[in-house]
Amino acid sequence: MDLDERVSRLVTTEVESQYRSIFENAVEGIYQTTFEGRYLRVNPALARVYGYPSPEALIKGLTDIAGQLYFDPKRRDDFKRAMAEEGIVQDFEAQVYRADRSVIWITENARCVRDSTGRILYYEGTVEDITQRKADEEQIRLLATVFDNVADGILMVDRDLIVRAVNPAYENITGFTRAELLNTPLDFLAPGYHEKTFIESVWAEMAARGRWMGEATCRRMNGAPFIAAMSISAVQGTDGKHGHYVIACSDISLRKKQEARIRHQANFDLLTELPNRWLTTERLEQAILYAARGKSGLAVLFLDLNGFKQVNDALGHQAGDELLKQVAKRLRACTRLSDVVGRLGGDEFLIVAADATEPRVGASLAQKIIYSFADPFQILGREIYCVPSIGVAHYPDDGNTAELLVRNADMAMYAAKQNKSHPVVLFEPHMLSAAADRLDIENDLRRAYERKEFVLHFQPKVDSTTRVIVGAEALVRWQHPERGLVPPAAFISLAEECGLINMIGEWTLREACTQFVRWREEGHNMKSVSVNLSPTQFLDRGLTGVVERILRETKIDPGCLELELTESAMSVDMESAITTLGTLKAMGVKLSIDDFGTGYSSLAYLKRLPIDVVKIDRSFVKDLSTSMVDGKIVEAIIDLADGLGFNVVAEGVETGEQAEFLRNNHCELLQGYLFSKPVDAAAFSGLLDRPPQ
């Protein structure tokens, strides 16, 4: 070996050892394999990637690449095909088994080494473990799917607040396209909806916590604002500073609207737009707190419409609804803006007036309301009269809680209901026991009919000149097993409320007619028997049928039956009253107006009604001897009634003077204690047998 040769070998050895070092220390796996799939040489890195303790262990253990290495054995075929066609594979990705059978992702770059004849000598190549990269890619793909498919709109901006990414939901919500937004400065708030301090506070919170959540009003492409639930998060950049901001928003305008509607529905009555029971009570509670602090008082008015049920029954719910709406309007018009006007339900309203230093304030407000109801309501082309009964309770005198005040005002309202000529009643403590009583009575009343506890009493009507009994008014009584004889005032309106009045009324009518026919058969020559009809009965559609049937059953001469009605029954709906009266009239029955003078109607108004008799209310008769004014009123009524062709009956005649005055003023018929109290049928027979006094 000459020097040159020695030097060249040395150099070759040196180069070889350098290559060996690279081979041994490379971070990538390096291999040579046979065409059939056996390893010839591998470096330690490949042993590590495949999970073998040493290159030798790998060569020994992994003898069949196609069968042992690839998770999907077909990948070896792909590899060989690429080699055959190209002589090279690049970035060949595959899943492979490691020694412990775990699966990893690798990427290979390899080439085929051939001899001078072109025969494949071996393959050589490098391997890299890309399992982590694959996982990252998968993660990114997932996130991108989320980004593209979430319902929330997402914007990504860089630290200079330039938009860098927009998802489809954001485009959908706002109407802006990705192209319009990308690379433009962030501008998503609707102008004019936010204080400067709001935006400052958002960024302050971002700076402190890296995150902000809340609601903001954003803008759409078309300029329309919408309320969005938003979150802004800072994403840390690689340098540890904020790299990006992610802004997510969802359009909650609809939800907000629904929430507002639900809140409104929960607090307000949909029909009248007034606060409902719940809100009214709450406002009353607040008013009590203010009043307590300011040492002032409150007036609480409980208002219930008279005859509302009748309007509803006779004209339909639409009319009822319309009436309630107009009533609400009138109440608002009567009250101050600071007063609470609420609808408790049905036809019940509550009014709370602040600064009511004494109960009189409530009473005068109530009076003002009554006056405002004197004009008829225009309902579906008809004129309807409807007046309320109002109970007044005063804070602090009548209660110091909302519950007590409402209950007591209700109690007073009930008292007002009982006596239609006093539409406003102030609460008094004794009403409480009356209410308890009422409950008991109501229960008993439901059973009274079956137990045959009703009885009819009769009160004579006498000729003012001859004092002969010419007629009788039938007046119902309730023979209560414990309470004794209960007068109608104590149970008629209750019977109306609990729906028993028609049954009681029908019984009364039949009983009165039967008794009258019996007296006639016994030879008594009375001209008429009169029966009272309550407003509810009068407005009931079945009334005319009932009257007709009873006329037929009892065979009473229709001209001898007189039906007594109050003005309030007819004023609810004048047109249908005229129709009903006409039908009754056509049957031959006589009609009379009871308690005349206590309602709103005038005689002129009566002219339109086919009635026969006017009964002057006993309140006018009572003061006849003492009050000149009432004398004049009675005279006027008699004169007018005469002129219009009505008969006149004076009720409640108790003294000879009254009888004298009435006779002198040509009042034909008199009724009252002076002649007899109402008595049962047997006693009345006795009166008929007695000669006139």
Binding site for ligand C2E (CB under 6 A): 459, 475-476, 487-489, 492, 505, 508, 532-534, 564, 594-595, 618, 651-654, 671-673, 678
Shortest spacing between CB 653 and ligand C2E, in angstroms: 6
Helix pair 317-334, 308-315: axis angle to 10 deg:
140
Indicate the DSSP class of residue 690: S
The one of Mg ion, ligand C2E, none whose footprint includes residue 423, by CB under 5 to 8 A per kind, is none
The one of Mg ion, ligand C2E, none whose footprint includes residue 654, by CB under 5 to 8 A per kind, is ligand C2E
Shortest spacing between CB 640 and ligand C2E, in angstroms: 20
* φ, ψ at 573 (rounded to 5°): -145, 95
Helices (H) and strands (E) in the chain, counts: 26, 27
Alpha helices in 273-401 (DSSP H): 277-293, 308-315, 317-334, 359-372
Q: Which is nearer to ligand C2E, 227 or 476 (CB)?
A: 476
Q: Which is nearer to ligand C2E, 129 or 595 (CB)?
A: 595
Shortest spacing between CB 392 and ligand C2E, in angstroms: 25
Contact 608, 569 (CB under 8 A): no
Question: How far does the chain reach from its first CA to its final CA, in angstroms?
Answer: 178
Shortest spacing between CB 511 and ligand C2E, in angstroms: 9
CB atoms within 10 A of CB 533: 23
Shortest spacing between CB 279 and Mg ion, in angstroms: 43
| Contacts with 317 (C-beta within 8 Å, 6 or more apart), sequence order | none
Q: Which is nearer to ligand C2E, 322 or 473 (CB)?
A: 473
Contact 122, 35 (CB under 8 A): yes
- Alpha-carbon torsion, ordered 564, 568, 573, 575, to 10 deg: 40
Contact 577, 591 (CB under 8 A): no
Please identify which residue in 398, 594, 630, 668 interacts with Mg ion, judged by CB under 5 A.
594
Window 633 to 672, contacts with Mg ion (CB under 5 A)? 651
Q: Which is nearer to ligand C2E, 55 or 505 (CB)?
A: 505
Shortest spacing between CB 421 and Mg ion, in angstroms: 11
The one of Mg ion, ligand C2E, none whose footprint includes residue 508, by CB under 5 to 8 A per kind, is ligand C2E
Please identify which residue in 126, 532, 534, 544 interacts with Mg ion, judged by CB under 5 A.
532
Strands 647-650 and 669-670: parallel
The one of Mg ion, ligand C2E, none whose footprint includes residue 672, by CB under 5 to 8 A per kind, is ligand C2E
Q: Which is nearer to ligand C2E, 290 or 673 (CB)?
A: 673
The one of ligand C2E, Mg ion, none whose footprint includes residue 544, by CB under 5 to 8 A per kind, is none
Shortest spacing between CB 677 and ligand C2E, in angstroms: 7
The one of Mg ion, ligand C2E, none whose footprint includes residue 562, by CB under 5 to 8 A per kind, is none
Contact 38, 6 (CB under 8 A): no
- CA proximity to 235, closest of 148, 154, 116: 154
Residue that the structure tokens 């009720």 belong to:
651
DSSP β-bridge partners for residue 339: none
Q: Which is nearer to ligand C2E, 198 or 673 (CB)?
A: 673
Please identify which residue in 595, 606, 638, 669 interacts with Mg ion, judged by CB under 5 A.
595
Task: Give the number of residues in contact with Mg ion, rule: CB under 5 A.
Answer: 5
> What region does 351 belong to: left with phi over 0, alpha with psi -120 to 50, or beta?
beta
Indicate the DSSP class of residue 692: P
Indicate the DSSP class of residue 121: E
The one of ligand C2E, Mg ion, none whose footprint includes residue 371, by CB under 5 to 8 A per kind, is none
Is position 564 an interface residue for Mg ion (rule: CB under 5 A)? yes
Contact 469, 458 (CB under 8 A): no
Choose one: 130-138, 160-168, 436-444, 588-596; the region binding Mg ion (CB under 5 A).
588-596
Shortest spacing between CB 367 and ligand C2E, in angstroms: 25
The one of Mg ion, ligand C2E, none whose footprint includes residue 459, by CB under 5 to 8 A per kind, is ligand C2E
Q: Which is nearer to ligand C2E, 374 or 489 (CB)?
A: 489
Q: Which is nearer to Mg ion, 309 or 618 (CB)?
A: 618
Shortest spacing between CB 420 and Mg ion, in angstroms: 12
Indicate the DSSP class of residue 650: E
- Rounded to whole angstroms, how far apart are CA atoms 217 and 257? 14
How far are the Cα atoms of 135, 203, 319 from residue 238, in angstroms, in the given order? Answer: 20, 21, 74
Residues in contact with Mg ion by the rule CB under 5 A: 532, 564, 594-595, 651
